[in-house]
Structure 1
Amino acid sequence: MASLEVIRMGNPNLRNVCETVEIEEIQRPEFQTFLKNLVSTMRDKNGVGIAAPQVDVLKRVFVIEIEDNPRYPNRVNFPIVIAINPEIEVVSDQKIDSWEGCLSIPGIRGQLKRHQKIRLKALNEDGENFELELENFPAIVAQHELDHLNGVLFIDRMEDLKTLAFEEEYNSYWLGKSI
Structure 2
Amino acid sequence: MITMEDVIREGHPTLRLTAEEVETPLSEEVIQLAEDLLQFLKNSQDPEIAEQHALRAGVGIAAPQVNVSKRLLAVHVPSTDEESDEPEYSAILINPKIVSHSVQQTCLPDGEGCLSVDREVPGIVPRHKRITVEYIDLNGKKHKERLRGYPAIVVQHEIDHLNGVMFYDRIDPENPLALPDGIDVLGS
Q: What TM-score do the two structures reach when normalised by structure 1? A: 0.80
Indicate yes or no: 2:66 matched with 1:65.
no
Indicate yes or no: 2:112 matched with 1:100.
yes
What is the letter of the counterpart of residue 14 of structure 1?
Answer: L
Q: Is the 8 A contact 1:42 1:48 kept in 2?
A: yes
Please state which structure has a larger fraction of its residues in strand. 1
Q: How does 1:1-179 map to 2 (within 5 A)?
A: 2-4=1-3, 5-24=6-25, 26=26, 28-43=27-42, 44=44, 45-67=56-78, 76-98=86-108, 99-109=111-121, 110-160=123-173, 162-163=176-177
1:103-133 alpha-carbon deviations (Å, 9 max, x no partner): 0013424321110000010000111100110
Larger mean Cα displacement after TM superposition, 7-16 or 33-42: 33-42
Q: Is the 8 A contact 1:66 1:76 kept in 2?
A: no
Q: Is the 8 A contact 1:64 1:80 kept in 2?
A: yes
What is the letter of the counterpart of residue 32 of structure 2?
Answer: T
Aligned-residue offset at 1:77 = 4.2
Q: Residue in 2 aligned with 1:169?
A: none
1:47-94 alpha-carbon deviations (Å, 9 max, x no partner): 11100000000000011111168xxxx994422111000001233100
Distance in 1 (CA, whole Å) between partners of 2:71 and 2:187 is 33
Distance 1:112 1:6, change over 3 A: same
Matched residue SS, 1:111: coil
Distance in 1 (CA, whole Å) between partners of 2:32 and 2:187 is 40
Distance in 2 (CA, whole Å) between partners of 1:177 and 1:136 is 9
Structure 1 residue runs of 4+, over 3 Å off?
Answer: 74-77, 160-163
Distance in 2 (CA, whole Å) between partners of 1:119 and 1:101 is 23
Distance in 2 (CA, whole Å) between partners of 1:7 and 1:130 is 29
Aligned-residue offset at 1:177 = 9.6
Q: Residue in 1 aligned with 2:180?
A: none
Aligned-residue offset at 1:162 = 3.8
What is the letter of the counterpart of residue 85 of structure 1?
Answer: N
Q: What TM-score do the two structures reach when normalised by structure 2? A: 0.76
Q: Is the 8 A contact 1:78 1:138 kept in 2?
A: no
Identity %: 37
Aligned-residue offset at 1:102 = 0.5
Q: Residue in 2 aligned with 1:167?
A: none
Q: Is the 8 A contact 2:79 2:89 kept in 1?
A: no
What is the letter of the counterpart of residue 89 of structure 1?
Answer: V
Q: Is the 8 A contact 2:19 2:69 kept in 1?
A: yes
Q: Can you give the 5+ residue segments of structure 1 that lack an aligned partner in the other structure? A: 164-175
Q: Is the 8 A contact 1:66 1:75 kept in 2?
A: no
